[in-house]
Amino acid sequence: QPHVRTDGKRVGRKDGGEFTRAQFERRIFSTLGDVEARAVKKGDLLSILDALKADGKLRTANVLLADLKQMFRFAVARDIVDRNPLETVTKRDVGGADVERDRVLSAEELQQLSRALPDANLSKRSEIAIWLILSTGCRISEAMNAEWKDVDLPGRTWHLPETKNQRPHTIHLSDFAGKLLSRLLQLRVEDAKPGEATKRWVFPNSRGDGPVCIKSFGKQLADRQRPAERRLKNRAINTESLVLPGGRWTAHDLRRTAATTMAQLGVSTDVIDECLNHIIASRVSRVYIRDRRLKEQAHAFDLLGKRLSGLVSDPLKI
C-alpha cells in the first residue's frame, strides 16, 4: 500500500496493488485453484509463465515472475512457507532480458501522425493526450492522472506533485502545450451536465469517477497498429490507422521523441534530464546541486513547442 515513511519519502504502489491483484486473479489463482501456499511447486508456476511466453507476452511474464518472487520472499520472511519455489528462476528462463526500446518518431512521422489522427476514430481527449506527451515529455501515468487543480494556464505551469521517482516536478507550458490544455478545459465545460460539478481529472474516464486507465490509453494506440487479421473483438476497426513507417510506437516513445527533439534543438543533456524529471545519476550532484534549472527548462519547452508547431501546424484546430 502507498504510504509515507518517517523521512517523508513516499513508497509503495500508487494503485495499492490493484494491478498485481488483477493479474494474480486472472493468471495465477484461476489456474492453481484453492491450494496452500506451501504446496505450490516451481513447476506449477513455470507452466503459467511458459504459457504467457508461448503467447508472446514476454514482458507480462517477467512482471508476473517479479511479483511472484516478491510474494514468496514475503512469505519466507514470515515463516508462511519454507522456501521460495522461484528463487533460482530468472528473467532469462521466462521472458528473457528486458529489451531497451529506442523508438523515436521522426519529423516526417509526426507530420504523418497529424494527418492520420482524424481518421483513427480516437476520442478528442486521446488525440490531445498524444500531443501533450510530445510537447511536455511527461510520462503516460502523469498525463492520465493529471488533475485540474495542478494546472495553472495563466501562469503557464503544470505541477506534478507525485511522480515515478518521488520527486515533484513542474512543467513549463509552451504556447503549443498551453493550447492543448485550453482545449481540454473547454471539453471539460462542454461535457458538464446541468447542475453537475466539473470533473477534477484532465482525462476523466467514461463514468467520470476517476481518470482514464493508463492501459486503456495504451491499448487504444496498439489497437490501431495491428494487421486487420489480428483485430481484437469489440476493439478498434481501423486497425492500421496509426501505423507509421518506423514501426510500432507507444506512448512512452512519445516521451523519448520529446527528449530527442530537444537534443536536436541544442538543449543540453542535463537540462533535458530536468525537463523529463529524471533522477540525477551522480549521488554527489543530487545531494549538493539543488538548482532545477527552471529558466533553462522553460526555454527548452518553448523550443520544443515551436518545433512541433512548425511540423504539425495546429493538427487539432485548437
Distance CA 290, CA 44 (A): 50
Identify which has the larger pLDDT, 286 or 122: 122
Distance CA 180, CA 12 (A): 32
Q: For position 208, what pLDDT does the model report?
A: 78
pTM of the shown model? 0.78
Render pLDDT for 176-218 as a digit per residue (tens, 0 to 9).
Answer: 999 999 999 999 888 877 655 568 899 998 887 889 888 889 9
Reported as a pLDDT band with limits 50, 70 and 90, residue 302 is very high
What is the average pLDDT score of the chain?
A: 87
> Do the beta carbons of residue 105 and residue 113 sit within 8 Å?
yes
